[in-house]
Structure formats: C-alpha cells, structure tokens
Amino acid sequence: MNTRLLGWLLAAPAFLAGPVEAQVTNPAAPAQVSSAPLTLTLKDALARAETNVPQVLAALSDAAVAREDLVQARAGIRPQVSFRSDYLGTQGNGVFPSGRFVTNDGVHVYRDWAVLHQDFTAAFTRTGPERAAAAEALARAKADVARRGLVVTVTRAYYGLLAAQRKYATAQQALDQAKRYFDISQSLERGGEVAHSDVVRAELQYTAQEQAFREAKLAMDTARLDLAVLLFRDFDQNFTVVDDLAQSAALPEYAEIQKMAARENPDLRAATSALLVAKLDTKIARQAYLPSLTADMVYGIEANAFALHSTVAAAPEKGPQPNLGYFLTVSLNVPLWDWGSRSSRVRAAEVRREQANVELSVAQRTILRNLQGFYQEAQTAREQLASLQRSVDLSAENLRLNGLRYQAGEATILELVDAQTAVTQARNAYEDGLVRYRLALANVQTLTGIF
C-alpha cells in the first residue's frame, strides 16, 4: 500500500466532516467597500421589507385612510357649527330705499351668521359610522394579510440565500475534493496501480464539479439580488445574513394551531368584515325610502349696517332697531318618486351582499383546507430532517471508506465518483429540507400568527 497517498487521503478531506455550517461571503462583491457590511437577522429583514414593498405600503395606506373615514363619519352625525359673512350690495334706483332688487330691504345689507346644522336622520340611524368602522376593520385585515404574505416572501428569499451560500460552500469543497482525487488517480497511474481510464474518469468528475461550482456561485449571487430588492430602496448588496437555518421554532400541536387560527386569521376577518360592509350598504340603500329631517339654527345679523342696532332702510321712521337675532329652519324631505333609482340601488346592494356571503363561505373552507395542508407540510418537512441529516452522515462515511478502498485497489473509480456525488446531493438535500421546513412554518403562521 502506498503510505504517502494513504496519509494524504486521511489528512485532507475536511469535506468529510459533516454538513457545511460556515457562512459564505459574496465573491461577486467589490474587493473594497466603503463600510462594513450590514448584518441582518430574519426579523431585521422583515422590518426593512415592510417599509419598502409597495403592496404592503398600499395596504397600510388604505387602513390609515379607512381610519380617517371613520373619524369623518362619526363627526358627520354630530352638530356642525359654521360662520358665514356676506355683504349684499344692491344698485339704487333713486326712488325706493331698497334699491332695484325687491328681495333686499336696502342698498346695503350685511349678513353675519353663526350656523348650527344637525342631520337628525344620520344621527338616529348611525349606519354611516357603522359602515365606516366595518370598512376600517376590513382594511386592517387586508393589511395584516399583506404583512403575513410578505413574511412568506422574505422568508423564502432570506433562507434561499442562506441555502445558496451553504450549497456554494459544499460545491467549493466538492471541487477541492474532486481535484484531490484527480491528483491521487494520476499518482496511482504513475505507480502502475490503476488504469488510465481511472484518470480520465476522475478528470471528468473534476470538470463536472467546476461547472457545478460556477452554477452554485451564480445561484448564490442571484439569491442575494432577490433579497436586496426586498430590503433596500437603493439596491445595496453590502450585507450579510445571520445563519439560523437550523434553529427553527417548534411546531405546536394541531389543536393549538386550530385555536390560534380561529383567533388570529386575517383572511377570515377580512371576509367577515366585507360581508358586514355589504350588509350595511344594503341598509343604507333601503334608508333612502325614509324621510330625512334636518335643522339649521342661525344666530347673528342681517341688517342695513354692520352694527348691533341700526335703522331699517325700508322704515327709517321706526328709528334704530336691534339687529342680533336668530331663526330656525327645520326641513322634512319625503321621497315620492325617483323613476326606480332607489330600488335599483337596493337590488345592487343585495347582489353585493350575496356575493360577499359566498366569498365568506369560500374563505372559511379555504382556511380549513390550508390550515390542514400547511400543517401537514410542516410536519412532513420536520420529520424528514432527521432522515436527511442521517443521509449526510452516511454519505460522508461512504466517501471516506470508498476513498480508502480505492487507494487500496478494492474499489473502482466509478464507486468513488458515485460516493462524491452522493455527499454533495445529500448535503444539498439537507439544506433544501431546512428551507422547506422554514417556509412551511411561515405558511402556517400566515393563518395563525407568530408562535
């Protein structure tokens, strides 16, 4: 046995030590940067993405607008106070003190009023604020749905980058290992211990690993770009991510998941709020058949002089009279005929209500299906992790043993190449399994909230 080659084989393969855990930096980044890279956890990434993704920002803006609509609707049923000041200048005719316009009692008329307005119909029914409150709840639920959807997107990009970095490290070590076995084959050929075909096969393996290494680098760079789009408005790639891929949260029992989904599901809240809005729209449409009652109380002056006391131009012989006073206008409007427009609005509102009812039913069924499906996916992914880790350990041991057997002439080059390929595939499958479990948890949490 060639002891020199055996010592080389036993000392070299750090590749056999187990799964790659070291974080890999981006080789495509500039050699010199102006500042240290920003280190981000998943929580940091989610916070940054929430301020950059337009879909989430739009949903949050809609929720803020709905809140202001509720404030306006509540204010609309309360008494409104305003002030009005008018000057009415009428052209004189030289004969009558009222001038040319019979509606005025003088050439100069000053009108300064404080006006109190109250819509009793809106105050009694209160459907406006109720509808605005339901619309706000709907907007907040949609914003929550957008946030949780963003969590899945960011989680996929974040752990996709981590997995790509790990696969890049695996490909780099696999390339080094293939080069090492290629050199061993050449040395064994020079010693007459193997045929030239072994060298050819080892070189082919080395060439294939070179290509796999370049593809892994491209995949890592692409994953970094995908995450940078979500996190930075100025598209900054000078960042690193904390590798917590193997430190995922435990999956609660299904009974607890069901309770959390019943309390925290935003899709169900959105569908329920949409149905309530549709019902209130129907109620508002039907209220158009009812009489409306409003009142306006005015206090101030309407006189020929801007003063507390003045002489009325139309009756100067009466002397100065007090100008301050009030008048009350109460209006009752009874609808009689509108060519069917009100009944049409009622029918349209009822159609929308029925559609909202159908959508709520679909949402309930979809939530039940997704809850069970997402949970089963997470459970399966979690159970597979131990098997995938076992495959990594076995494939690494298999490579070590085949390397010894090949050096001793007991194994063929094909067995050694297969062992190398099995290690890479097992490690990549393990990284994919970790990402799958993380994404499965994120999908479950879109229905239940964080656990």
Q: What is the CA radius of gyration of the chain?
A: 39
**Tens of pLDDT along 50-73?**
998 999 999 999 999 999 999 999
Domain architecture of the chain: domains with CATH: 3-51+149-284+365-448 (1.20.1600.10)
Nearest alpha-carbon partner for 250 in 433, 444, 388:
444
Tell whether the model's pLDDT for residue 5 goes beyond 80: no
Task: Judge whether 119 and 77 are in contact, CB under 8 Å.
Answer: yes
User: What share of the chain has pLDDT > 90, as a percent?
Assistant: 67
CB-hemisphere CA count at 13 Å for 264? 16
Residue 325, strand partner residues: 300
Nearest alpha-carbon partner for 171 in 445, 438, 423:
423
Residue 19: helix, strand or coil by DSSP? Answer: coil
Q: Residue 423: what are its φ and ψ, rounded to 5°?
A: -65, -50
Q: What does the pLDDT read at residue 24? A: 44
Mean of pLDDT values over 106-126:
91
**In sequence order, which residues have a C-beta less than 8 Å from that of residue 297 and are 6 or more positions away?**
115, 116, 117, 326, 328
Q: What does the pLDDT read at residue 34? A: 57
Round to the nearest angstrom and report the end-to-end CA distance of the chain.
Answer: 58
Residue 303, strand partner residues: 110
Mean confidence (pLDDT) of the chain: 88
Residue 297, strand partner residues: 116, 328
From the centroid of its chain, how far is CA 201? 51
Q: Taking the model in full, what pTM does it have?
A: 0.79
Q: How confident is the model at residue 105 (pLDDT cuts 50, 70, 90)?
A: confident
Nearest alpha-carbon partner for 161 in 237, 49, 247:
237
Q: Residue 312: what are its φ and ψ, rounded to 5°?
A: -75, 125
325, two tokens: 């006073």
**Tens of pLDDT along 88-99?**
898 888 777 877
